[in-house]
Amino acid sequence: MPTLLVKNADVLVTMDDGRRELKGGALFARDGVIEEIGLTADLPQTADVVLDMTGHVVVPGFVNTHHHLYQNLTRTVPAAQDALLFDWLKTLYPIWARMGPEHIRVSAMLGLAELAETGCTTSSDHLYLFPNGARLDDEIEAAVEVGIRFHATRGAMSIGESKGGLPPDSLVESEDAILADCQRVIETFHDCNPFAMIRVGVAPCSPFSVSRELMRDAAILARQYGVRLHTHLAENAEDVAYSLEMFGVRPGRYAEELGWCGPDVWHAHCVELDGSEIDLFARSRTGVSHCPCSNMRLGSGIAPIREMLQAGVSVGLGVDGSASNDSGHMLNEARQALLLQRVAKGGAALSARQALEIATRGGARVLGRSDIGHLALGMAADLAAFDMRAIEFAGAQWDPVAALVLCGPVRATATIVGGRLISADGRCVTIPRQTVLSQHELLTRRLINAER
Ligand code: ZN
């Protein structure tokens, strides 16, 4: 039973029920689970692995609630740099259609390494296209190698251009095949036990790329297995217009009609939710993944996060796909979330600690996990440490916790998942990092060159 001692943290941010911040904090974990937490002097002095975190702030590992890892291969594609959502998608679909299993695996490894290096310990991913034999298995394999906790969601697109949908027909699948594969990946990979490293969700891509029937059947299937549901919703004004035109209702009502509200559902973006939809989400305990960088990058708008939090909606943060962010850094996302709410609502709209909370505890709630997201007895030893002696934090010693969000963003000195160090000094240590970078570069070059 391996043990871990993290000691002498300048501040250990527990995010526990009392939101305690322990100066000179420490925690002791056995077999990946926190056994003791408190002041360094009161805890065991030795362990199999001892990390002296003098000069550091230690936080619960970040929980990323929305991503499309494969998009790491298509960052900053010139023709898609300045487009709004629908045109952005139509520009990138033909490039994505050329991917295969190796693209999915390598880009997932790279994207998850980026997240790990910046303090993320649990990530979800929304994979909704499976060209040329690609499978959800390919990214799960990558996550196992990186050692991050992973919620893979089996996405899908079934309504192609010829039927009034947005994606090209070559990227859509039959609805029977989609449901059969959802069932396969749940049965193969989903682990419902506490401290699970892999969970699977069901995630039709969006109301504008699948049918009403698939949305409904996906919800029924997910509930048969007790897995979670995820999709994109109300991302921008075009998205709402599509819903009104095609379904005659706003996105919130559409979701409700098809069984897509509830404590086992989380929706990405929700930029355009109105007051009644916010109430619906609060009442039904439906979760939201807020992706501020992506929303700004695509000019989608400002999600009403302050109103959602006030209404009691579960809100987590997501970096979203790397073709619409083009970064996978949760501290940056927390910072941008804070800044963006202030643009819309003024200075006190979101505090640094609230931003940190939705990046950790909030994300865990959105993913339906009670074993991660804060540091307390019996919780997973998932944490990240940041060196406050970095130049980025100079002059901010009054409040290192707020500094973590307001300054920087920086890489983590240590990222620990289940008591295991997966990133040290901002470098993922579980994978052949340079090899993965080279493979990724080659795959990108071939994908983009084939376009020319
Ligand atoms: Zn997305």
Tokens of 223: 């509930």
The strand ranges marked E within 234-290 are 265-269, 287-290
pLDDT, residue 166, reads 86
Domains of the chain plus CATH, in order, are: 3-60+374-428 (2.30.40.10)
DSSP string, 105-123: HHHHHHHHHHHHHTTEEEE
How far does residue 76's CA lie from ligand 1's centre (Å)? 16
How far does residue 119's CA lie from ligand 1's centre (Å)? 21
- For 309, the enclosing helix (H) or strand (E) is helix 305-311
- The residue assigned the tokens 């310990």 is 121
How far does residue 155's CA lie from ligand 1's centre (Å)? 11
Query: Is pLDDT at 74 greater than 80 in this prediction?
Result: yes
Q: What is the mean pLDDT of residues 190-206?
A: 98
How far does residue 321's CA lie from ligand 1's centre (Å)? 6
How far does residue 1's CA lie from ligand 1's centre (Å)? 39
The per-residue pLDDT for range 318-344, each reduced to its tens digit, is 999 989 999 999 999 999 999 999 999
How far does residue 359's CA lie from ligand 1's centre (Å)? 17
| pLDDT band at residue 347 using 50, 70 and 90 as cut-offs | confident
Nearest to 327 by CA among 290, 360, 353, 291: 291
Q: How would you label 317-341 residue by residue, b for 16+ Cβ within 10 Å and e otherwise?
A: bbbbbbbbbbbbbbbbbbbbbbbbb
At residue 314, the 3 state secondary structure works out as: strand
Kind of pairing between the strands at 21-30 and 3-13: antiparallel
How far does residue 145's CA lie from ligand 1's centre (Å)? 24
Query: Is pLDDT at 255 greater than 80 in this prediction?
Result: yes
Query: Is pLDDT at 75 greater than 70 in this prediction?
Result: yes
Nearest to 182 by CA among 130, 145, 144: 130
Reading phi first (left if > 0) and then psi (alpha if -120 to 50, else beta), residue 11 is in beta
How far does residue 38's CA lie from ligand 1's centre (Å)? 39
Query: Is pLDDT at 449 greater than 90 in this prediction?
Result: no
**DSSP H helices in 118-236:** 136-146, 175-189, 212-225
How far does residue 234's CA lie from ligand 1's centre (Å)? 11
How far does residue 68's CA lie from ligand 1's centre (Å)? 6
How far does residue 25's CA lie from ligand 1's centre (Å)? 37
The per-residue pLDDT for range 136-169, each reduced to its tens digit, is 999 999 999 999 999 999 999 999 999 988 899 9
At residue 35, the 3 state secondary structure works out as: strand
How far does residue 291's CA lie from ligand 1's centre (Å)? 8
How far does residue 127's CA lie from ligand 1's centre (Å)? 9
Q: Hey, how many other C-beta atoms are within 10 angstroms of the C-beta on 273?
A: 25
How far does residue 289's CA lie from ligand 1's centre (Å)? 10
Query: Is pLDDT at 219 greater than 80 in this prediction?
Result: yes
Query: CB–CB of 319/64 below 8 Å?
Result: yes
How far does residue 3's CA lie from ligand 1's centre (Å)? 38
- The residue assigned the tokens 């139509």 is 90
How far does residue 232's CA lie from ligand 1's centre (Å)? 6
Q: What is the mean pLDDT of residues 236-264?
A: 96
How far does residue 49's CA lie from ligand 1's centre (Å)? 38
pLDDT, residue 18, reads 98
d(C-alpha 366, C-alpha 314), whole Å: 6
- Report CA-CA distances (Å) from 210 to 160, 166, 171, 217, 445: 8, 10, 12, 11, 31
Query: Is pLDDT at 451 greater than 70 in this prediction?
Result: no
- State phi, psi for 361 to the nearest 5 degrees: -60, -40
Amino acid identity, position 26: A
How far does residue 326's CA lie from ligand 1's centre (Å)? 12
DSSP string, 150-170: EEEEEEE----GGGT-SS-GG
Query: Is pLDDT at 108 greater than 80 in this prediction?
Result: yes
Sign of the Cα torsion 205, 210, 211, 214 reads negative
pTM: 0.98
How far does residue 66's CA lie from ligand 1's centre (Å)? 6
| pLDDT band at residue 56 using 50, 70 and 90 as cut-offs | very high
How far does residue 67's CA lie from ligand 1's centre (Å)? 6
The per-residue pLDDT for range 277-294, each reduced to its tens digit, is 999 999 999 999 999 999
Residue 386 β-bridge partners: 57
Residue 60 β-bridge partners: 383
Query: pLDDT averaged over the chain?
Result: 96
How far does residue 115's CA lie from ligand 1's centre (Å)? 16
Query: Is pLDDT at 452 greater than 80 in this prediction?
Result: no
How far does residue 261's CA lie from ligand 1's centre (Å)? 18
How far does residue 318's CA lie from ligand 1's centre (Å)? 9
How far does residue 281's CA lie from ligand 1's centre (Å)? 19
Question: With the CA atoms of 355, 360, 363 and 367 taken in that order, what torsion angle do they form, in degrees rounded to the nearest 10?
Answer: -170
How far does residue 303's CA lie from ligand 1's centre (Å)? 14
Amino acid identity, position 123: S
Query: Is pLDDT at 57 greater than 80 in this prediction?
Result: yes
d(C-alpha 421, C-alpha 400), whole Å: 23
Nearest to 415 by CA among 403, 404, 425: 425
Query: Is pLDDT at 217 greater than 70 in this prediction?
Result: yes
Query: CB–CB of 356/316 below 8 Å?
Result: no
Q: What is the mean pLDDT of residues 294-311?
A: 97
pLDDT, residue 207, reads 87
How far does residue 122's CA lie from ligand 1's centre (Å)? 17
| pLDDT band at residue 346 using 50, 70 and 90 as cut-offs | confident
How far does residue 14's CA lie from ligand 1's centre (Å)? 29
How far does residue 283's CA lie from ligand 1's centre (Å)? 24
Q: Hey, how many other C-beta atoms are within 10 angstroms of the C-beta on 434?
A: 8
